[in-house]
Amino acid sequence: MSSSLPSDSSPDRSDQAEQLPSVPVADRVNYLFSTHLSPRGRPYTLKEVHKGTGGELSLAWLSGLRNGRFETPSGDKLQVLAAFFGVEIGYFFGGHPTPPPAARPPLATTDEELQHALGKPGLRDLAVRLSNLSPRELSSLVLIEANIYDTQGRAQLALAAAVQAEELSAAAGQERIAAEALRLQARAKGLLAQFEEAIALAQASATLYDGLGVPREALHSRRIVALNLWRMGHFSESIALHRRNLQETRRLRWTDQQAWTLLGLGGNLHFQGDLDAAERCFLETLALAHQLKDYALIVAAEYHMASVWAERAWLAAESGDDNERDGARAEALERFQQTITLAQEQGQDQMILFTAVDLAVALAQWGEIERARSFIALAEQTLVRVEEHVAARGWTLLSKAEVDLAAGDAESALRHINEALPLLEKGAPPALAQAHRVAALVYTARAEPVLAAPHWEASLAAAANQGQVLEEKRTRRAREGS
């Protein structure tokens, strides 16, 4: 089973300490109230926050804060409020503009809904304040909007906001905002499977950051270049760029960038079948991630460790070592389940989906079909929230085909693999070796060897072209046993 998630695709917030406009604290607080849902599925009320903070924040103080009556609110009380909403206290002063991806209310989707929303006194007042912002302030706020959509995996909305932020930054002469906007455009283009455009935008961002004398951010943008080279199946180029980036992060002791770069390098090495080297990268990533308390990074590294152990379980099964196989399966299962739990706690939909489909395929291969179907169901539920992600749709369909095939349902498997192939050709070329192998097995199960033959060849060719040693081995073993 191949790891299906690009190693650097989880939203990385190491770069969000942007210089932001002097937006009033009241507006920042009201934003938290409007974008975080209570267990009732609605924005929090003052009473709920009062109770949720153990009474430390009085109703009168919360009301005054939201209405702008405190020019310099108590730092201790703001710390309590920040902890309640799960943000850093620097958020209220511009250091951490984007709240975490907690459950957010649905956005207005029609003019009528928007008019209704703006009819509310708090939002109407906020809209009036926003209309008086300078181009610099407005470009910063639109950049925050783009970051939020990026965190949510809503590529089209993130792209539109990032383009607008870039345009506004040009009018304001804010090159740093423009550089970040270009990088966000690159991230969105990557999710939309427009890889060459993503690479060009990320390179432009890196060049702009270099010109501004911000090498740390330039390196972050080059990581996006490496990620999209991976997505295109250009592993050697991606590995070379990751290694150069890693040398720079170690030399300059940029721990956060070092950790994310190690994750990307490990993902490439994993796809090329060097499981030991990949594991070393992931273990170092995990150590740094815990040091940094970067939970998105912890989730991503745990996912990749689980995938490594799933590969080892397959190799042990092939060699006939039942004890090693069972131990590797147990390790993989524990790490997959832990990753899903952590991703759900953090609201990381992409990580939930990719972990669920990889675990489903592993369980199907281990003969646990019903458990596999439960994780396919989880992936499909999650896919609704990231449906713009072309690769996610393709991987989900591919995994459904594998589970169908393991269950003996060749007809459903054929339908799903035929839907998956064009999506993977566009959005995830590294998946093609696996996808064509599944197609070949489906046609073999249907007693149609003539139709299976070109898929066997396509699988081997894709694996050879991209240096996917384990995928080539899997395909040869599968063809021999068919």
| Residue bearing the bigger pLDDT, 231 or 63 | 231
Percent of the chain whose predicted confidence (pLDDT) is above 70: 85
CA distances from 57 to 52, 61, 76, 88 (A): 9, 7, 10, 17
Global model pTM greater than 0.75: no
- Which residues lie below 8 Å from residue 356, measured CB to CB, with a gap of 6+? 340, 375, 376, 378, 379, 382
CATH of domain 25-132: 1.10.260.40
Q: Is 86 helix (H, G, I), strand (E, B) or coil?
A: coil
Mean pLDDT score, 245-262: 94
Please, what is the Cα angle at 61 between 58 and 62, to 5 degrees?
Answer: 85
Mean pLDDT score, 373-378: 96
Mean pLDDT score, 135-147: 84
Using CA atoms, how far apart are residues 18 and 142, in angstroms rounded to an integer?
Answer: 13
- Looking at residue 9, its pLDDT comes to 59
Using CA atoms, how far apart are residues 165 and 18, in angstroms rounded to an integer?
Answer: 13
- Looking at residue 41, its pLDDT comes to 58
Percent of the chain whose predicted confidence (pLDDT) is above 90: 59
Q: Are 208 and 189 in contact (CB under 8 A)?
A: no
- Looking at residue 170, its pLDDT comes to 86
Least confident window among 74-88, 286-300, 332-346:
74-88
